[in-house]
Amino acid sequence: MISAGDFRNGVTFEMEGNVYQIVEFQHVKPGKGAAFVRTKLKNVINGGVVEKTFRPTDKMPKAHIERKDMEYLYNDGELYYFMDQESYEQMPLNADQLGDALRFVKENMLVKILSYKGNVFGVEPPNFVELQVTETEPGVKGDTATGAQKPATLETGAQINVPLFIDQGDMIRVDTRTGEYMERA
């Protein structure tokens, strides 16, 4: 059992006969009244997203999610192919099952395939990945406002904001959980 006061992003639990994963959560302590936890939940089976409020003392049965290491091989336009590291079997998955988790994943990268009772519902990339910047505007000399950022396109097609000193062709480290630039690689 997990109490609502212990909710964190990525936690999965069973509720009303469905399995939900926490996408966002916020502990709210209003000036008057009791504290509560506001959440955005994703149904891992059908992909639907709902918002729900819990009391911090509410308890839910934790759902056991299988995480299996697999290597991302390639995309043929409709399906994404992953290979089991132990049996070398390939598993094709469609984009609906994967969500936007693949935006930071490139070919031959190890990821975790998430499944519940044999039904695959998502991909968990490594927390940090090194990707090349394929397109960004050049930084202008003297344009060094503190914390200023510009948009950049990465080799996987994902778009993130990077500091002004990053140029096209640079390798950078990205936090896949937040989609933020971390540092030069």
Averaged pLDDT, 8-23: 85
Instruction: Report which of 82, 181, 155, 169 is spatially closest to residue 123, judged by C-alpha positions.
Output: 82
Average the pLDDT over each of 2-11, 16-25, 134-143 and give the range with the smallest value. 134-143
2-60 CATH pick, 2.40.440.10, 1.10.150.20, 3.90.1170.50, 2.30.30.30: 2.30.30.30
Please report which confidence band the pLDDT of residue 171 belongs to, taking 50, 70 and 90 as the band edges: very high
- Whether CATH 2.40.50.140 fits 66-124: yes
> Model confidence over 38-85: pLDDT tens digits?
999 888 777 788 999 998 888 989 888 888 899 999 888 888 899 998
Average the pLDDT over each of 32-36, 47-51, 146-150 and give the range with the smallest value. 146-150
Please report which confidence band the pLDDT of residue 141 belongs to, taking 50, 70 and 90 as the band edges: low
Sign of CA dihedral 19, 13, 56, 8: negative
Please report which confidence band the pLDDT of residue 145 belongs to, taking 50, 70 and 90 as the band edges: low
Q: Where in the chain is the domain with CATH 2.30.30.30?
A: 2-60
Q: Where in the chain is the domain with CATH 2.40.50.140?
A: 66-124, 129-184
Is the pLDDT assigned to residue 17 strictly greater than 70?
yes
Alpha-helical runs (H) found in the chain: 95-98
Predicted local confidence at residue 10, as pLDDT: 78
Averaged pLDDT, 3-29: 85
Burial per residue of 11-36, b for 16 or more beta-carbon CB atoms within 10 angstroms, e otherwise:
bbbebeeebbbbeebeeeeeeeeeeb
Q: 129-184 architecture in CATH?
A: Beta Barrel (2.40)
Predicted local confidence at residue 153, as pLDDT: 92
Predicted local confidence at residue 113, as pLDDT: 87
**pLDDT averaged over the chain?**
85
Is the pLDDT assigned to residue 167 strictly greater than 70?
yes
Q: What are phi and psi of 23, to 5 degrees?
A: -90, -45
> Model confidence over 108-122: pLDDT tens digits?
999 988 888 877 877
